[in-house]
Structure 1
Amino acid sequence: MDAPPAEADPSVAGPTGARRPDPLPRRVHAGYALGSLATGAFGTVPGLLLLPYLTDTLGVAAGVAALLVLLPKAWDVLVNPVAGRLSDRTRSRWGPRRPWLLGAGLALAVLFGAIFAAPFGAGPAAGAYVAVAFLATATAFAFFQVPYVAMPAELTGDRAERTRLMTWRIAVLALAILVSGAVAPMVVTATGDGLAGHRWMGLFVAALIALGAVGAFLGTRAAATGAVTETEPTLRAQLAVAAGNRPFRALLLCFVIQSAGVATILAGVSYFADQILRDPDNGPTLLFACFVGPALLVMPLWSRLGARLGKRTALVAASLLLAAGALALVAAPALPAAAVYAVVALLGVGYAGQQVFALALLPDCVAHETARTGRRQAGVFTGLWTAGETFGLALGPGLYGLVLQVSGYVSSDTGTAAAQSDQARLGVLLGFTVLPALLVGLAVLLLRGWTLDPDPKGDR
């Protein structure tokens, strides 16, 4: 369906004083949220399984594996703004964003399965193949995620409605993380571990990604998603506009650092379950269930808290809760397993709020700039945002891999972890606890004085 012009669409952010937009239908909330099946699966499974796949199945040294995980995602820093610019200028009967949801989403599914196809078996060639396949997959992800994240600023001009939209999205994201993060290791184990198990896991996650991409494309077909309007003539000019938005810069840097912290937790799950909990078979699944399960329950509570305190204040509170939970896990070797899982559930509560409020503040930044300048910049802002997010999600496993390398972690090509020294086990623990606590907790300092409104109490 052709989208109406932006000035005739009450759901598109307009100048201050415009009438309050009509609420979005529930089917649009649900349809848009389905895209998080794709973003959640791709954001979770590589961070969870790719590093141990390289070190414990392909026999790649931890330091080299860290670079193989980091460098392809660093490519997104260049690709994502380009994807944003192209989606801003796309003209189609489906609107500017939805064609990318379908085309790039299906490409993402196919390429993800290819990452774990292992046509060269184990060894250096296998590691090089994973790096190339991961690079191609990250590129496809950029062209799906950037238009997807850009859509809320165009679906509605109401900040409260965007928060509700993000609450739906984060709820599905939590479900996607739970399903992909908890079930993917089970698929590996159930289908024989090693190369064969990872091949089947790749196909499972690819199907989940395809379901999310097609669901988001179909679910938003009745929603107005804006029309092509005047924008900056060059990529350099667009980047200059984003760089000149101080609230966006602060929010972006905070979220990138926190994404790296969350990603170190994801990267360390398998290692933590094996070396600290001594439960390599069931530990990863239980950790994910405890981490993500509470998020599905507390999302409405976070939404109400955000309405009462303001999104920025709620983001700070959620971040500090996440950091405190991670730091408390330093005591995991002396705690019973039940207590460890309870602390991980506390992390999940903080993670849910940290995600929902950061993502709810982003479209506020975009809509504020659109209202101020009259130019649609959603693709550029979200291109930079997703570039930073994916870089942070890659930086986390990279940092964790370097911690393993420094602590003397021994790689294996047998499909199971080798015996590790006490020093290596300490590296597993500190990388999973202290490192993410510092990254997530200290990043909130960047939000001091953050506001979009002339009255600072408007954003708090």
Structure 2
Amino acid sequence: MSGAPAMRERPLRPARADRPFGWRDKVGYLLGDFGNDFVFIFASSFLMVFYTNVAGLDPAAVGLIFLIVRVIDAFVDVAWGRFLDTHRASPRGRFRVWIGRMALPLAVVSALLYVPMIGDWAYGVRLAYAGITYLLWGSCFYMMVNISYGSMASVMTEDPAQRSALSVWRSTGASAAGLFVGVVPPLFIYATVDGVSQVHPMNLFLTATAFAGGALVFLLLCYRMTNERVVVAPSAQRRGLGTVLGALSRDKALLTLVLANLVMMIGQFLSQSMAPYLWLNYFNNGQLSSIAAVLGIAPVLLIAPFATRLGRRFGKKEIAIVAGAVATGMHLLTFLLHVTNPWAFLGLTFLGNLGMSLFMLLVWAFITDVIDAIDVKTGSREDGTVYAIVVWARKLGLAAVGGLSGFALAAIGFHAGQATQSHETVAGIYAIATLGPAILFALFTLVMWLLYPLTRARVEANAAALASRRAAPVVVD
């Protein structure tokens, strides 16, 4: 039982008599991340190469754009999460309503990121257009949809096992989207000219537009198929944003999860952002990235049916430690072998992805565990704010990848807009794509092992404490 004042407790209760949690909610939630990642993974995979190879922007300048936008996100993400926690919910829910409202603007801006004629503009105009559209995409429309979507999981059900199931279904949707994004676009956006694999600007724009349209459809299906069943009774004493952030900044579980997510995202997306350069320049076959995408996502889809039971049996923290260790070992081995055969490289990539698959499937359930732990200690739930902080850390990791990738490409002598690169540059691309993730996954493993406090026993104890609190009468002064 929390030692927080009774007047600040906000017990969870059923929102209304409604259909029980079931398959429709799981499939709808899966479709939400499927739609989100139709634009997010697409941007993670192809936006950097669009900026350098089509727009002709300097990699260091692109990295700076990514970093500036993520600094802005530090404010807007948390502000939006706090808005979701404190505004009056509509009859259609507190969180899901914003998925329906913002799906169309998100789709439009997602397509406008890749206009093919940008290469004909003056350099300053190209740079400004890239910065403005990326800001609108990442810090406005995608942010509003994604934080609303992620925060919704805690009010779809209050059962920890069902929340873990939602995390698995969400991650399965993300993996399916990643598979689709990885396989289909390379078949259309790459062309071989004089024996050199290159990006086709118009095909990239048309493909991006098609994926943006798909995202719109899937997000609207998510809105229609899901339901919010749990509401938080209004607090008798609402805390200000500064007070909330001050308390959260001292929470070890949240801080550790933020750090682990940041490191994991940098490692994961560093490999992903370098993949187009690796296949274009090191293996000289951009279309092989389709097969690489299949082997990158396949482990997640194979393990998904067992993830919830494994998490319940061994604990999410414990699984994360093993996952990080396996991923570290395989990426380090790939670097040391300096593989030149693309099929051998694909095999090692598959084994490396087995490592992080379990963590990726359960990562969103970590957030609800942290929210519950904070509720036990303080008597206050901050679903949207906590989710926004974790998402900001993940987006910061993505921006760091953009900055790190851009600066690293510049450091190894990569020339934007040039079809071929020097031998030293190509060797540097291979090192960044293999050794970089190995180091970061090793750090992730140490963080989860030594610092993250929510073991399986602690999570179960928190769930029991909250169940006891909800069963007790509410005291209001």
Q: Is the 8 A contact 1:41 1:181 kept in 2?
A: no
For 1:34, give the aligned amino acid.
L
Specify the SS of the correspondent of 1:323: helix
Structure 1 residue 106, shift from structure 2 partner: 2.2
Residue aligning to 1:235:
241
For 1:117, give the aligned amino acid.
V
**Residue 89, structure 1, aligned to residue 89, structure 2:** no
More deviation, 224-233/340-349: 224-233
Residue aligning to 1:394:
399
Structure 1 residue 155, shift from structure 2 partner: 2.1
**Residue 450, structure 1, aligned to residue 448, structure 2:** no
Q: 1 CA distance for matches of 2:423 and 2:118?
A: 33
Residue aligning to 2:24:
27
Residue 68 of structure 2, aligned match among 59, 68, 71:
71
Identity %: 21
Residue aligning to 1:188:
189
Residue aligning to 1:15:
none
Residue aligning to 2:57:
60
Specify the SS of the correspondent of 1:8: strand
Residue aligning to 2:14:
9
Residue aligning to 2:415:
410
Q: TM-score, normalised by structure 2?
A: 0.85
Structure 1 residue 374, shift from structure 2 partner: 3.3
For 2:297, give the aligned amino acid.
V
Residue aligning to 2:339:
334
Q: Is the 8 A contact 1:184 1:205 kept in 2?
A: no
**Residue 42, structure 1, aligned to residue 43, structure 2:** no
Residue aligning to 1:128:
128
**Deviation digits for residues 172-224 of structure 1 (CA, Å, limit 9, x no counterpart):** 1100111123222333248x953312220220221122123212111114x41
- Are the structure 2 counterparts of residues 204 and 329 from structure 1 closer, same or farther at C-alpha, using a change threshold of 3 Å? farther
Matches within 5 A, 1:275-424: 275-280=281-286, 282-331=287-336, 333-412=338-417, 417-424=418-425
Specify the SS of the correspondent of 1:288: helix
Q: 2 CA distance for matches of 1:176 and 1:316?
A: 26
- Are the structure 2 counterparts of residues 382 and 354 from structure 1 closer, same or farther at C-alpha, using a change threshold of 3 Å? same
Q: Is the 8 A contact 2:14 2:230 kept in 1?
A: no
Residue aligning to 2:96:
98
**Residue 197, structure 1, aligned to residue 203, structure 2:** yes
For 1:31, give the aligned amino acid.
G
- Are the structure 2 counterparts of residues 373 and 10 from structure 1 closer, same or farther at C-alpha, using a change threshold of 3 Å? farther
- Are the structure 2 counterparts of residues 278 and 228 from structure 1 closer, same or farther at C-alpha, using a change threshold of 3 Å? farther
More deviation, 287-296/70-79: 70-79
Q: Which sections of structure 1, spanning at least 5 residues, go unmatched?
A: 12-21
**Deviation digits for residues 336-393 of structure 1 (CA, Å, limit 9, x no counterpart):** 2221111111232223212123221111111232344332300110010111111111
Q: 2 CA distance for matches of 1:187 and 1:234?
A: 50
For 2:45, give the aligned amino acid.
L
**Deviation digits for residues 317-354 of structure 1 (CA, Å, limit 9, x no counterpart):** 11222222222222565342221111111232223212
Q: Is the 8 A contact 2:155 2:230 kept in 1?
A: yes
For 2:203, give the aligned amino acid.
G
Specify the SS of the correspondent of 1:226: strand
Report the number of matched residues.
439
Specify the SS of the correspondent of 1:69: helix
Q: Is the 8 A contact 1:121 1:195 kept in 2?
A: no
For the pair shown, the structure with the greater C-alpha radius of gyration is 2
For 1:113, give the aligned amino acid.
A
Q: 1 CA distance for matches of 2:339 and 2:360?
A: 30
Specify the SS of the correspondent of 2:119: coil
Q: 2 CA distance for matches of 1:134 and 1:340?
A: 33
Q: 2 CA distance for matches of 1:347 and 1:45?
A: 22
Specify the SS of the correspondent of 2:231: coil
Q: 2 CA distance for matches of 1:431 and 1:272?
A: 10
Q: 2 CA distance for matches of 1:183 and 1:147?
A: 28
Q: Is the 8 A contact 1:184 1:204 kept in 2?
A: no
Q: TM-score, normalised by structure 1?
A: 0.88
Specify the SS of the correspondent of 1:420: coil
Structure 1 residue 453, shift from structure 2 partner: 6.9
Specify the SS of the correspondent of 2:208: helix
Residue aligning to 1:143:
144
- Are the structure 2 counterparts of residues 422 and 189 from structure 1 closer, same or farther at C-alpha, using a change threshold of 3 Å? closer
Matches within 5 A, 1:131-280: 131-138=131-138, 139-189=140-190, 193-221=199-227, 223-227=228-232, 229-230=234-235, 232-280=238-286
Structure 1 residue 454, shift from structure 2 partner: 10
Two-structure CA RMSD over aligned residues (Å) = 2.5
For 1:229, give the aligned amino acid.
P
Structure 1 residue 267, shift from structure 2 partner: 0.5
For 1:209, give the aligned amino acid.
A
- Are the structure 2 counterparts of residues 157 and 8 from structure 1 closer, same or farther at C-alpha, using a change threshold of 3 Å? closer
More deviation, 126-135/297-306: 297-306
- Are the structure 2 counterparts of residues 233 and 220 from structure 1 closer, same or farther at C-alpha, using a change threshold of 3 Å? same
Q: 2 CA distance for matches of 1:284 and 1:232?
A: 51
Q: Is the 8 A contact 2:62 2:402 kept in 1?
A: no
Structure 1 residue 120, shift from structure 2 partner: 3.9
- Are the structure 2 counterparts of residues 243 and 199 from structure 1 closer, same or farther at C-alpha, using a change threshold of 3 Å? same
- Are the structure 2 counterparts of residues 225 and 194 from structure 1 closer, same or farther at C-alpha, using a change threshold of 3 Å? farther
For 1:396, give the aligned amino acid.
V
